[in-house]
Structure 1
Amino acid sequence: MKCNNGKEKKDKYNPFKEAEDYLAKNRRLFLWGGVDDESAEKIVKRLLWLDSLNNDDIVLFINSPGGVISSGLAIYDCMQAIKSDVVTVCMGQAASMGAVLLAAGAPDKRYVWNNARVMIHQPLIQGEMVGPASDIQIQAEEMLRIRQVLNKILAEACGKDESQIEKDTDRDYFMTAQEAVDYGLADKKENFQ
């Protein structure tokens, strides 16, 4: 990078970026915060890159309140498409789309840390809807379709009927680590590293 006087300026050293890169090279990825296009792009690129190197397990640590459904489904689809098993680890919380990604981990490789919490619910429309009634109806129908998609994903991951998932996600459903294991969102309650 060049400064105004034409001399080279070195990028400021960031030990946290270095640590994140080191962990990624060792097949440890993090979803920390909301699920959005930026976090999804970063995770999908790294999943594809690591899977292209070899098919060893990739660990995805999750501490997320959820977020944008389409971004979360991009991560989910990538997890299902690659050959490497994705080990999911909930630390802190896995709520909403974060819980879907936790449940999407490889069978018998989904962990929840002892003091973490997990929350599932139906998809939410964020912001305000503006437009003619016909457009609002289209958006409502799409939201119901997405709800069915998410319910099917959770039902398959948890070994439950879709009708049970639909009932349980009607409102926010919070679970302790042990309750998440009992529900089928995770396989083991332990501080996996």
Structure 2
Amino acid sequence: MMSPTILSYRLLPTLRNLSVQRSKLFHTSQCRHLIPIVVEQTGRGERAYDIFSRLLKERIICVMGPIDDGIASLVVAQLLFLQSESSKKPVHMYINSPGGSVTAGLGIYDTMQYILPPIATWCVGQCCSMASLLLAAGTPGMRHSLPNARIMIHQPSGGARGQATDIQIQAEEILKIKRTINNLYVKHTGLPLESIENSMERDKFMSPVEAKEFGIIDKILEHPPTPTQKQELSSADDSCSKES
């Protein structure tokens, strides 16, 4: 099979069903940009994909933009699909997000923990709020950041209105969510709960070096891996797959 080439930055009329629907969803609710189309030459002729579908073939998922129910539905569906394709090959999740809905983010988080394949996470640009938890939730040893990305953690925020009893119920619920999220950071960073609570009290911005010391990531990547590093990464992926 020949290497894929980018044909254009518009939707081709020959694309159908999932590819078109998925492209429209990204176009309208996530990035609001034109979606590149990738064309491959195969033995049966040309095959066109939107760029995200082509990356999905390589087991790459992009979590880009604010996390809401729409993005969560896309990411969860892709994770479940990739598990059905192979329960051993790793999934690579690239994240560039300011955070967003706690419930949508926890839906993605729970699915990441539920499926069998190891998940490599990559911070590109920023991983703030709920996105930083998704970054930390990758398989240990496979959590990465590019050198100029920013990572931020903080406690959940929200508002309530209505009768006094309703406000009390909402306040109790957000405190429960706060405790849940704190415990998840404890699980993935290895830090004591008291340290996590102190760090989460206000916005805590971190460089990749600081995030590595904090336990959110394992590696900082400045250049593409060399052939030797690729072989080591492949061996680590195989090891994680066997342990799973």
Could you tell me the TM-score, scaled by structure 1's length? 0.90
Quick one: which amino acid aligns to residue 124 of structure 1? S
Stretches of structure 2 that go unaligned for 5 or more consecutive residues are 1-12, 21-34, 38-48, 225-244
Q: Which of 157, 176, 188 lines up with 1:145 in the alignment?
A: 176
What's the CA shift for 1:191?
4.5
User: Counterpart of 2:66?
Assistant: 34
What's the CA shift for 1:18?
1.2
Alignment deviations for residues 68-114 of structure 1 (CA, whole Å, 9 cap, x no partner): 00000000000000000111000100000000000000010000110
SS in 2 for 1:168: helix
Stretches of structure 1 that go unaligned for 5 or more consecutive residues are 1-9
What's the CA shift for 1:142?
0.4
The change in CA–CA distance for 1:62 and 1:191 in structure 2 (over 3 A counts) is farther
In the alignment, is the contact (CA less than 8 A) between 1:90 and 1:116 conserved in 2?
A: yes
Q: Which of 41, 47, 64 lines up with 2:97 in the alignment?
A: 64
User: Counterpart of 2:135?
Assistant: 102
**1:169 maps onto 2:190 in alignment:** no
SS in 2 for 1:185: coil
What's the CA shift for 1:129?
2.3
User: Counterpart of 2:78?
Assistant: 46
Q: Distance in 2 between matches of 1:38 and 1:154?
A: 25
Quick one: which amino acid aligns to residue 221 of structure 2? E
User: Counterpart of 1:4?
Assistant: none
Q: Distance in 2 between matches of 1:58 and 1:33?
A: 20
What's the CA shift for 1:130?
1.8
In the alignment, is the contact (CA less than 8 A) between 1:112 and 1:186 conserved in 2?
A: yes
Q: Distance in 2 between matches of 1:183 and 1:160?
A: 8
Q: Distance in 2 between matches of 1:184 and 1:108?
A: 11
Quick one: which amino acid aligns to residue 219 of structure 2? K
Q: Which runs of 4+ in 1 moved over 2 A?
A: 10-17
Q: Distance in 2 between matches of 1:53 and 1:185?
A: 28
**1:15 maps onto 2:47 in alignment:** no
SS in 2 for 1:134: helix
User: Counterpart of 1:187?
Assistant: 218
User: Counterpart of 2:46?
Assistant: none
Could you tell me the TM-score, scaled by structure 2's length? 0.72
The change in CA–CA distance for 1:26 and 1:187 in structure 2 (over 3 A counts) is same
What's the CA shift for 1:58?
0.3
By relative contact order (CA 8 Å, sep 6+), the higher-ranking structure is: 1
In the alignment, is the contact (CA less than 8 A) between 1:89 and 1:192 conserved in 2?
A: no
SS in 1 for 2:217: coil
SS in 1 for 2:206: strand
What's the CA shift for 1:15?
2.5
Q: State the Cα RMSD in Å.
A: 1.8
Q: Size of the alignment, in residue pairs? A: 183
Quick one: which amino acid aligns to residue 115 of structure 1? N
Alignment deviations for residues 155-193 of structure 1 (CA, whole Å, 9 cap, x no partner): 110001111111100000000011001100000011476
